[in-house]
Structure 1
């Protein structure tokens, strides 16, 4: 058990493997809920090192980037670091509405990131068609592999068409974890159905990040994280 107070504690890399019979082999990294402030420099430095080490082919940013104006410079630094990467996609979080989604979107796009809204991005990986979407209502099965990038978790079981991979954040693991089971992280799981680490629905692997930062910077037994998935094509 560990109590963490403050903005710059270590985070873990949660690693998962997804086996596909129809899509390409690649890696994808999802990070979310940075909640950057003026004190967030060390977190950004560690995040840059982690991204460089993992070198994901696809990088997904899941929202809630900046908590105050002084945190914007750290977000800008991260975006500049990512500018040379080809496949970086971002969605807005609920906190981003207060700071200004359009302002953050323009900053991201100046650094060559793709800001996802209601239009999916279509890319080709090793000859396979891959869709990356932020809109769960517009998923279709006409591609080789589909990724859903969210900020706030949704009820994945209600979707008419499932992605292969789905990512969300927002809940921060509820910040205090007194016990954990296959059903989720408690006591947060008592209030939020999707306060879990992962679940599988059909072919969809649904992964929920505990995030990289908090507006109220205190956690108990709830280590911050990013989620790294290795997708392997079955031979």
Structure 2
């Protein structure tokens, strides 16, 4: 600053200017709040995120190297999601050319009801060259899990309730295990692993992601889960606001447990529950490519 330049008078915040700025800030907030709600209510729940993920494992057999697997979860049919929307989702899944499709629970929000036939038709459209597998979620138990299991099985999925199956491809094999819901079912991973070889690459389907702490006790390589919806509403610099029981520890995305022994992926789900909103937490299709390390 030039020493010969006289100092400028400081600008004082007058009451009038303060009220003007406060009014502008308030007006901006009033405009932003409805816009944010409209986005969360009408836009984001329909804005599907197709998330490509590569997972590597030294235990994966060479014959399964490059296997392409699609996971979807938490459809919540009957709560702002219907059979035509499920048919559209099926076509999207088919466009991803999956070899295996895994569904990780909460097909319905409360009950199958009279739309069961339409749900079977929509799910039957999903194509996978190696196989389609499913587990039940907590909402699937609300009005009887057998009805939901019947829909899935009738559509060509193999529903794994404390059960497992060996899957072969390209001369390689892996074990796919599925457990009952941790909240309303009686998960028994020991039973689901019956028949699996200890050296065999094992994929576990569990609706609840926090079951991973139990899975660590077994030779499980990869667990796919849903349930959390990723929080459904996430705030900048804060993350999820709330998650349900058994999705408190592992909420969204990929985790490594037991020094890399177990990889866990938590899918954000397709539908919504309780509140028809999503914010900074788009619905997700997970597309995995399995690679031998």
**TM-score greater than 0.5 by the shorter chain:** yes
Mark the CA change 1:231 to 1:96 in structure 2 (over 3 Å): closer, same or farther.
same
Higher RCO by CA contacts (8 Å cutoff, separation 6 or greater): 1
Q: 5 Å matches for 1:81-100?
A: 81-82=125-126, 86-100=130-144
Q: 2:189 corresponds to which residue?
A: 137
Of the structure 1 ranges 19-28 and 93-102, higher mean CA displacement relative to structure 2 is found in 19-28
Change (3 A) 1:187 1:60: same
Distance between the aligned counterparts of 1:147 and 1:212, measured in 2? 21
Corresponding residue for residue 9 of structure 2: none
1:17 alignment partner in structure 2: 54
Q: Which has the higher strand share?
A: 1
**Residue 203 in 1 paired to residue 261 in 2?**
yes
Give, in whole Å, the separation in 1 of the partners of 2:148 and 2:244: 33
Paired residues, number: 231
Deviation at 1:210, TM superposition (A): 0.9
* 8 A Cα contact 1:66 1:99, kept in partner: no
The answer as to 2:229 corresponding to 1:175 is: no
Structure 2: distance between partners of 1:13 and 1:31: 10
Q: Which residue of 2 aligns with 1:59?
A: 101
1:43 to 82, 85, 90: 85
Contact 1:189 1:196 in 2 (8 A): no
The alignment status of 1:187 with 2:241, answered yes or no, reads yes
Check conservation: 2:73, 2:267, Cα contact below 8 A.
yes
d(CA) in 2 for partners of 1:126, 1:144: 15
Give the whole-Å Cα distance in 2 for the aligned partners of 1:144 and 1:76. Answer: 33
**Does structure 1 retain, via aligned residues, the 8 Å contact 2:254–2:263?**
yes
| Contact preservation (8 Å) 1:32, 1:211 | yes
- Report the more deviating stretch, 111-120 or 83-92: 83-92
Tell whether 2:189 aligns with 1:108: no
Return the alpha-carbon distance in structure 2 between the equivalents of residues 35 and 195 of structure 1.
18
1:219 and 1:195 map into 2 onto residues whose CA distance is 15
Could you report, residue by residue, the CA deviation over 1:127-154 in whole angstroms, capped at 9, with x for unpaired residues? 2221111136325662431101111112
Cα pair 1:88 1:113 within 8 Å, conserved:
yes
Query: What is the RMSD of the two structures over their aligned residues, measured on CA atoms?
Result: 2.8
The change in CA–CA distance for 1:110 and 1:196 in structure 2 (over 3 A counts) is closer
Q: 1:93 to 1:180 in 2, by over 3 A?
A: farther
Q: Give the structure-1-normalised TM-score.
A: 0.85
TM-score under structure 2 normalisation?
A: 0.70
More helix by share: 2
Once the 2 structures are TM-superposed, how far is the Cα of residue 43 of structure 1 from its aligned partner?
Answer: 3.0
Q: Which residue of 203, 206, 212 corresponds with 1:150?
A: 206
Partner of 2:72: 31
Instruction: Name the structure 2 match of 1:231.
Output: 290
Any unmatched runs of 5+ in structure 2? 1-35, 180-187
* Contact 2:73/2:226 (<8 A) preserved: yes
